[in-house]
């Protein structure tokens, strides 16, 4: 019997949330324990017919936690002040179970921005090196898809703060790309809670494990690296990497990957590749064929003599400012989304002084930031859009021919969209309706 199944077989189990990960957890347990009594809890009634599965739903669906031995929590569910449960209830998730019980060697990647690019680069480099590897986790494939694999597999797992929040084990190789203010609405203690969740990627490491991180990330007063981290600490910056002769050759092959942030992500991935003995030739092969990540400074095309870029994954100001710098020639910036209480003061100062001529804001934060800029006396052309259809129309009208329009929201998407992918695809579909 597989270790996860052995661990839960005699326990009273609740699957909390029945989205992609919840359905994956249900399928995995059912594959091995077809007759086990299960319970699924969700705000909305789960669409399932199974005589051995009970469903709990409605506004008060979180009140039942104390009735179970173990709760598989889906990443999107927040435990705030009104959520209580006894110490006898174990809160876990797929990521935690995988790290604790599964045999594959794990490379875990987390951070506020850049984790998808870094995860994909690591996967591509390991694969090019002939290693048995997979790319799973927050990138879209639940980790239980590979839970029954053996130790010959290297599992590259993108880990969100939500997936790390309740983990009690850490991967063999942990990559912490950065930490900025994000998802503050998910944690009781705000930024502190967010940082603590992210750091679970390394807190439980052993001495023969590795932590790869950017030493320029200032977490003074939040974490003492020397006291907290037991693994081999490998600080990495792309400027330090330039002392490496191969890296200088590598940069010549990355013209298709714009921006310093991409070079930083490549430096992380190269460090991981070398830990696993991947040759420089294989690394170079992976870089040359890597086309970038959808929704990250993605080239959409030239329409109405304007070059359009989709950067919907940029949900924090720092990522937007990096994209503006990397792309250059940005005449219009389209931004805005859900207000999660992020501090926008530095972003507002940037918009007030940068070379961008047109600012188009989407609800909620886009409108708020534009109103603030107007009060500051900003003389840029600033427009508030009703929705994405209206926004693309405005951008097409105001952007100078021959220049670029960048969609980079600096905010979450779920005031009107399920996620940044849906928002980015809607943007691209509207752009593609314009005249080429």
At 379, list the tokens.
Answer: 């003389």
pLDDT tens, residue by residue, 279-312? 999 999 999 888 778 898 888 999 999 999 999 9
- Evaluate the CA torsion angle 374, 191, 82, 68 in order and state its sign: positive
Give me the CATH topology for the region 9-92. Answer: Rossmann fold (3.40.50)
Domain 96-289 shares a fold with domain 298-431: no
Pick from 156, 157, 166, 153: nearest CA to 203? 166
Collect all residues with Cβ–Cβ distance below 8 Å to 258 and sequence separation of at least 6: 297, 326, 327
Give me the CATH topology for the region 298-431. Answer: 3.90.190
pLDDT tens, residue by residue, 384-397? 999 999 999 999 99
pLDDT tens, residue by residue, 113-166? 788 889 999 999 999 999 999 999 988 799 999 999 999 999 999 998 888 888
CATH 3.40.1190.10 fits domain 96-289: yes
Sketch the domain layout of the chain as residue ranges. 9-92, 96-289, 298-431
Whole-number Å distance between alpha carbons of 137 and 370? 36
What per-residue confidence (pLDDT) applies to 181? 62
* Residue 186 binned pLDDT confidence (cut-offs 50, 70, 90): low
More confident residue, 224 or 98: 98
- Asked whether the predicted pLDDT for residue 431 surpasses 80, the reply is yes
Pick from 432, 420, 344, 335: nearest CA to 380? 335
Give the CB-side neighbour count of residue 152, counting CA atoms within 13 A: 3
- Asked whether the predicted pLDDT for residue 325 surpasses 60, the reply is yes
What per-residue confidence (pLDDT) applies to 192? 72
At 184, list the tokens.
Answer: 């503050």
What per-residue confidence (pLDDT) applies to 337? 96
Query: Mean per-residue pLDDT for 42-63?
Result: 93
At 346, list the tokens.
Answer: 């530095």
The single residue listed with the structure tokens 């974490």 is 223
């Amino acid at each position: 019997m597989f270790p996860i199944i052995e661990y839960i077989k005699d326990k009273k189990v609740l699957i909390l949330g029945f989205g992609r990960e919840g359905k994956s957890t249900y399928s995995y347990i059912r594959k091995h324990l077809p007759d086990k009594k299960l319970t699924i809890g969700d705000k909305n009634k789960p669409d399932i017919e199974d005589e051995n599965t009970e469903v709990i739903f409605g506004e008060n669906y979180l009140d039942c936690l104390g009735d179970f031995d173990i709760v598989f929590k889906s990443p999107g569910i927040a435990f705030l002040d009104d959520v209580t449960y006894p110490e006898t209830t174990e809160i876990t998730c797929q990521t935690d179970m995988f790290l604790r019980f599964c045999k594959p060697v794990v490379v875990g990647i987390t951070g506020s921005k850049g984790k998808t690019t870094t995860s994909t680069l690591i996967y591509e480099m390991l694969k090019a090196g002939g290693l048995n590897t997979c790319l799973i986790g927050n990138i879209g494939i639940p980790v239980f898809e590979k839970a029954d694999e053996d130790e010959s597999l290297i599992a590259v797992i993108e880990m969100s703060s939500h997936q790390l929040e309740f983990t009690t084990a850490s991967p063999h190789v942990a990559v912490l790309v950065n930490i900025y203010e994000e998802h503050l609405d998910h944690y009781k203690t705000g930024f502190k809670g967010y940082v603590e969740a992210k750091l679970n990627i390394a807190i439980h490491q052993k001495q023969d494990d590795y932590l790869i991180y950017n030493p320029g990330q200032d977490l003074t007063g939040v974490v003492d690296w020397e006291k907290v981290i037991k693994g081999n600490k490998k600080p990495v910056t792309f400027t330090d990497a330039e002392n490496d002769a191969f890296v200088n050759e590598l940069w010549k092959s990355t013209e298709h990957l714009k921006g310093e942030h991409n070079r930083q992500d490549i430096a992380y991935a190269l460090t991981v590749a070398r830990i696993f003995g991947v040759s420089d030739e294989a690394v170079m092969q992976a870089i040359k064929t890597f086309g970038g990540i959808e929704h990250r400074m993605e080239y959409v095309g030239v329409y109405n003599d304007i070059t359009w870029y989709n950067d919907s994954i940029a949900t924090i100001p720092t990522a937007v400012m990096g994209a503006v710098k990397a792309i250059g020639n940005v005449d219009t910036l389209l931004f805005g989304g859900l207000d999660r209480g992020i501090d926008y003061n530095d972003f507002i100062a940037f918009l007030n002084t940068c070379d961008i001529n047109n600012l188009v804001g989407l609800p909620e934060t886009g409108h708020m930031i534009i109103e603030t800029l107007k009060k500051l006396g900003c003389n840029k052309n600033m427009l508030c859009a009703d929705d994405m259809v209206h926004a693309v129309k405005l951008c097409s009208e105001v952007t100078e021919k021959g220049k670029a329009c960048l969609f980079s929201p600096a905010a979450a998407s779920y005031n009107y969209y399920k996620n940044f992918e849906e928002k980015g695809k809607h943007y691209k579909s509207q752009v593609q309706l314009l005249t080429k």
